[in-house]
Structure 1
Amino acid sequence: MPEPTPERATAERLADLEARVAELEQRARSAAAPAEAAETAYRDRFFALEALRERVPEDGMVVYAGVVPVEGGEPLQWQYGRTVGDIEGLDWSSLAGNLDALGHPVRLSLLQAVHAGTATVAELKERAEFGTSGQIYHHINLLVAAGWLVNLRRGHYVIPPERLVPLMVVLTAAKG
């Protein structure tokens, strides 16, 4: 074992001090980590709200957006917003038809089936829960009139791209 010298003792003390300072710094970082993690989690969870706050007009704003994968293509990206004043100025009762079209379990199931790729009345008729062709057409006609479905070509229905994200927003809002 080497004999202690003043230089060696100083070097050992310095190394000991550096180790203790490093440990204290690590403890300080660990103590701050939960607060930083909570702040990051908040920013990550409310990223859209944080971005909106930077642009919100004086009378407030409601915005919805979404990115929805589309089979065989680029994801559908959609964003829409209105000021609170615009929304308050609407005749809310005039929107009843659009909402009513979604207010029936069979129509919601039809939309879900169409979204999943079932495109024709013949395909929909194969599923007993949708009823007869006449019943299916009744529900489809209401969904078409409200803009939730479009007839691409004779008997082939799709949810129009500009209504897919809004539909998912309505479903998300209904889920709460």
Structure 2
Amino acid sequence: MTDIAAELAALEVRVAALEGSARAEPGERGFVEYSGSVDFGGPVDWTIRYSAVAVRDLPAQDRVDVLAALGHPVRRALVEALLDGPRAGSELAQAVGLTSQGQLYHHMRALTSAKVIEQHGRGAYHIPAPKLVPILIIMTAAADIAEALR
């Protein structure tokens, strides 16, 4: 990622965090907040705070699509491989042991449709910077729910 691209990504993260905090009035039943600061090819800081009651009003199908995409073992492995940076489709297929382009396309289509990853040009995929922390938080929260962190 170029310096300008990294700076733009950092600005987008900050604006999104500010917009999120504007919606995050604690309300009668509290709030949900998550944040992180990571460096996977460039620094990313992310914080969002949202009303606990309003969480139920977020688009249900979008949430289901993301969880389903990340819940498949091959897709999880693909996302983990992309944490190290952009990769070509052939590299990803080899990294997770896929034997056909059709298999790779099927899984990458599910991840791109859920907006977990994006495609650069012809065949190079990446995780958009503003999505790094939320993806890592989903992974951590799932481990916490399963009591794997204890």
TM-score by length of 1: 0.62
Deviations 1:122-145 (A, max 9, x none): 112333623311101110010000
1:68 is aligned, of 18, 32, 38, to 38
Aligned counterparts, 1:1-176, within 5 A: 56-71=26-41, 73=42, 75-90=43-58, 92-117=60-85, 119-127=87-95, 129-176=97-144
CA RMSD between the two structures: 1.9
1:163 and 1:124 mapped to 2: Cα distance? 19
1:56 and 1:86 mapped to 2: Cα distance? 10
What runs of 5+ residues in structure 1 fail to find an aligned partner? 1-54
Identity of matched residues, %: 34
More helix by share: 1
1:83 and 1:67 mapped to 2: Cα distance? 22
What runs of 5+ residues in structure 2 fail to find an aligned partner? 1-24, 145-150
Question: Displacement, 1:89?
Answer: 2.9
More strand by share: 2
TM-score by length of 2: 0.72
Q: Which residue does the alignment assign to 1:48? A: none
Would the alpha carbon gap of residues 83 and 128 (structure 1) be closer, same or farther in structure 2, given more than 3 Å must change? Answer: closer
Question: Displacement, 1:94?
Answer: 4.9
Looking at CA atoms only, which structure, 1 or 2, has the larger radius of gyration? 1
Higher RCO (C-alpha 8 Å, min separation 6): 2
